[in-house]
Amino acid sequence: MKIVGVSLGTRNGSNDSMCKEALIAAQEMGAEVSFIHLLDWDIKDCTGCVACSRSLVMGKGNVCTRKDEFDDFRSQLLDADGVLVVDPIFEKGASGLFHTLMDRFGPRADRGMNVVATKICEEHGGKPIDPRLLKDKVISFIGIGGSDWATAIEYDHTMLAISPAWKVIDNEKFAWSKNIIMEDEKVERVREIGRNLAKAAADIEHAEYMGKPGVCPHCHCKNFYLDPESTHATCMTCGIEGDLVIEDGKFKFVFPEEQLSHAHDTLSGKFIHADDIKENEGKAIENRKSQKFKDSQARIASFNIPEILPPAKRECVK
Ligand SMILES: Cc1cc2nc3c(=O)[nH]c(=O)nc-3n(C[C@H](O)[C@H](O)[C@H](O)COP(=O)(O)O)c2cc1C
């Protein structure tokens, strides 16, 4: 069973160190482990060209227009049974590099989209999808911060697992942890996360969440989008809509059973999303042919707003 650990911190810093602690603990459980220091890799930002979602729903395969080392990185993860991501907390949430990963995973790694694309390919021909994109996998996250500014980190991290529908085993954050390598209790928790991941990766079919309880009983999220006029709340991770109520002095998130079929981390929820994207992309392509769209574009193009170009593209003015 293979586990790959990915650190998004500085070379030999806290994130690298804790990633290696967890990996060694997983190795002691029998896992074959490997380590990636992601800052050394050429991973470019997503441009938002939507070639990935369009190609998937048109049976043209799983493409990305960016040319860098992302596909090799993704391939390393797709070959593993379990993935561990250790990420520095920036601005209360995940690092910018982690957000780039989320975007690059995005529609392209979405399990629902890839199932739809595989069906299209089987029924009508076309470019086949990498079967590794349809496989179950387990993933754990660790966020490490230098203060207690950390309220978005667990939410950010689970979003990476939503797209490929990988099972989250642990989702831990360590606040005030600049010197985590000297804090035995925290290091032991990190090692436990490594062991949990190894156990889960050995039996992915029966793998269960092993982290601390959250408020959403479905996905364990603690972040909600609240309606200021009522108790109505939407779970920020899985998108389930319900009410946040207080029971025995604690928050409880209650929702109608049927909401589960819409949850963004379930295959049924993903199919709803894939259908929405297919419909909306189709409408967007049609709308672009209309006179109103062309007139609007021409109007905006006529605006007299000077553009400040990046220094390398500026003409040399003497
Ligand atoms: C741009 C930036 C933003 C940061 N924001 C936070 C923050 O919001 N909360 C926090 O606890 N730590 C924050 N930190 C501290 C980092 O999380 C900490 O330096 C990092 O985990 C060290 O990791 P490394 O030793 O693996 O490089 C920030 C650091 C930087 C550079």
pLDDT at 318: 53
pTM above 0.85, yes or no: yes
State the number of CA atoms in the 13 A half-sphere of 260 facing the CB: 7
Q: Which residues line ligand 1 (CB under 6 A)?
A: 9-10, 13-16, 88-92, 144-147, 149-150, 175
* Closest protein CA for atom 2 of ligand 1: 90
Contacts 24+ apart (CB under 8 A), 201-208: 201/1, 201/2, 201/3, 201/26, 201/31, 201/80, 201/81, 201/82, 201/138, 202/1, 202/29, 202/30, 202/31, 202/81, 204/81, 204/136, 204/137, 204/138, 204/167, 205/136, 207/138, 207/167, 207/169, 208/169
CATH dotted code for 2-212: 3.40.50.360
Report pLDDT for 59. Answer: 87
Look at residue 18 in the predicted model and tell me its pLDDT.
98
Crossing angle between the packed helical segments 111-124 and 96-109, to the nearest 10 degrees: 30
Q: Which residue is closest in CA terms to ligand 1's atom 4? A: 90
Centre of ligand 1 to C-alpha 69, Å, is: 25
Give the per-residue pLDDT at 273. 86
Q: Which residues of the chain have pLDDT under 50?
A: none
Q: What is the pLDDT of residue 252?
A: 98
Question: For residue 33, how far is its CA from the centre of ligand 1 (angstroms)?
Answer: 26
125: exposed, middle or buried (C-beta count within 10 Å: 0-12, 13-18, 19+)?
Answer: exposed
Is there a contact between 234 and 259 (Cβ–Cβ < 8 Å)?
Answer: no
**Residue owning the nearest CA to atom 6 of ligand 1:** 90
Question: In this predicted model, what pLDDT tens digit does every residue of 60-94 receive, in sequence order?
Answer: 999 999 999 999 999 999 999 999 999 999 999 99
Q: Which atom of ligand 1 is nearest to the CA of 17?
A: 26
Expressed in angstroms and rounded, the spacing between residue 95 Cα and the centre of ligand 1 is 8
Q: Which atom of ligand 1 is nearest to the CA of 147?
A: 11
38 CA to centre of ligand 1 in angstroms:
16
Query: Who's near 303: CB < 8 A, 6+ residues apart?
Result: none
- Number of H helices and number of E strands within the chain? 9, 9
Distance of CA 215 from the midpoint of ligand 1 (Å): 26
Cα of 10 vs centre of ligand 1, distance in Å, is 10
Sign of CA dihedral 261, 264, 268, 273: positive
pLDDT of res. 85 = 98
Looking at residue 211, its pLDDT comes to 97
